[in-house]
Structure 1
Amino acid sequence: MRHNKSGRKLGRVSEHRRALFRNQLKSLITHERIITTLPKAKELRPIAERVVTLGRRTDSVHARRLAARWLDDRDLVHRLFTEIGPRFTSRPGGYTRIVKLGPRRGDGAELAILEFVDFKLPEAKGKATGESKKERKKRTPAAAKAEASGPAPK
């Protein structure tokens, strides 16, 4: 019987599960937001909180080595201790949030977003106004030249 056993197996053996969490944690540190299934997000959250707490407290060799157990990439460890950790110095915990997305179309698995609480979507680099493609095309000098020379021959 499975009484009082914590954690989900997620249909994987322990080494596969650890590799999954390491890869997802690396993606979370890199992109600050990942889309995954709800059970995976719920299992990854405490690991991510622990690693961010390491990056938040002190920048010691010991803390970096403990973080490297999960991240195993020097650049990610550096980013954790220089960018992500200092952002949360005033926060005593709860660095991540889980936002439910709904069922996945293929198999109906419940999807969720795991992201840092201070994550902001980057601004769109495209058009700033709500003008259409035709209006933008009219504005460009090449389009004005083409109109001035007359209609295109058929």
Structure 2
Amino acid sequence: MRHRKVSRRLGRDTEHHWAIMRNQVRDLLKHGKVVTTIAKAKELRRVAEKMITLAKKGDLAARRRALSFINDKEVVRKLFKDLREKFLDRSGGYTRIIKIGPRQGDASMMVLVELVEEKVSAKSGKKKGERLKKVLEFIEKKKKQYGVKPQEEKSTVEKTTQEDSSVEGAQEIQA
């Protein structure tokens, strides 16, 4: 039984599991994004967010703990210098998981794990329409980035009915 066991084993022994996590956390922090399977991504998110939280502490003990896990001085330097400043205002949720479809060989669901770029802003001050517009722009940007074809425009029948209704409205105003 797996009572009180936190991490996923991923079908490997403990040393291999932690080697995979070290490599993926290092690559995520180095490149900003990683493509992997969904199970590995969920485990990667858990470990990477702990490393970013260590960087936010910023003291020597935290730097040594991060260096003992990541084993790459350049990545730890980037984590404690650049990424720390980027995520200092954010209280969590430093990564994002985006599904990109099944893998060709074994149909395993592949996902993109990336570091969040946006700044945290208070939602109460913004209007609902502005938030919706920002979300729609983000979705369109990701679709273009990953080659998803945009939806076609309205049919000509719908366009002509809209034009006719606007002409009738203009005539009523003039009368």
TM range (shorter): 0.7 to 0.9
Identity of paired residues, percent?
A: 44
TM-score for both structures, normalised by structure 2 = 0.64
Q: Once the 2 structures are TM-superposed, how far is the Cα of residue 117 of structure 1 from its aligned partner? A: 0.9
CA distance in 1, matches of 2:33, 2:50: 17
SS at match of 2:106: coil
Q: Once the 2 structures are TM-superposed, how far is the Cα of residue 73 of structure 1 from its aligned partner? A: 1.1
Show the counterpart of 2:151. none
Counterpart of 1:96, as a letter, is: T
CA distance in 2, matches of 1:101, 1:3: 32
Q: Once the 2 structures are TM-superposed, how far is the Cα of residue 102 of structure 1 from its aligned partner? A: 1.4
CA distance in 1, matches of 2:63, 2:2: 36
Show the counterpart of 1:36. 36
Higher helix share: 2
Counterpart of 1:113, as a letter, is: L
SS at match of 2:12: coil
Counterpart of 1:93, as a letter, is: G
- Which runs of 5 or more residues in structure 2 are unaligned? 119-140, 143-175
CA distance in 2, matches of 1:5, 1:90: 31
Q: Once the 2 structures are TM-superposed, how far is the Cα of residue 9 of structure 1 from its aligned partner? A: 1.1
CA distance in 2, matches of 1:21, 1:109: 19
Show the counterpart of 1:62. 61
Structure 1 segment 3-152 matched on structure 2, within 5 A: 3=3, 5-58=5-58, 60-118=59-117
With a CA cutoff of 8 Å and minimum separation of 6, indicate the structure with the bigger relative contact order.
Answer: 1
For the 8 Å contact 1:96–1:114, the answer to whether it is kept is yes
Q: Once the 2 structures are TM-superposed, how far is the Cα of residue 107 of structure 1 from its aligned partner? A: 0.4
How large is the RMSD of aligned CA atoms in angstroms? 2.0
CA distance in 2, matches of 1:2, 1:63: 30
SS at match of 2:19: helix
SS at match of 1:29: helix
CA distance in 1, matches of 2:5, 2:57: 30
Show the counterpart of 2:165. none
Worse overlay, 30-39 or 1-10: 1-10
CA distance in 2, matches of 1:11, 1:95: 27
CA distance in 2, matches of 1:69, 1:78: 13
Q: Would you identify which runs of 4 or more consecutive aligned residues in structure 1 move more than 6 Å?
A: none
- Which runs of 5 or more residues in structure 1 are unaligned? 122-154
Q: Once the 2 structures are TM-superposed, how far is the Cα of residue 2 of structure 1 from its aligned partner? A: 3.9
TM-score for both structures, normalised by structure 1 = 0.73
Counterpart of 1:84, as a letter, is: L
SS at match of 2:10: coil
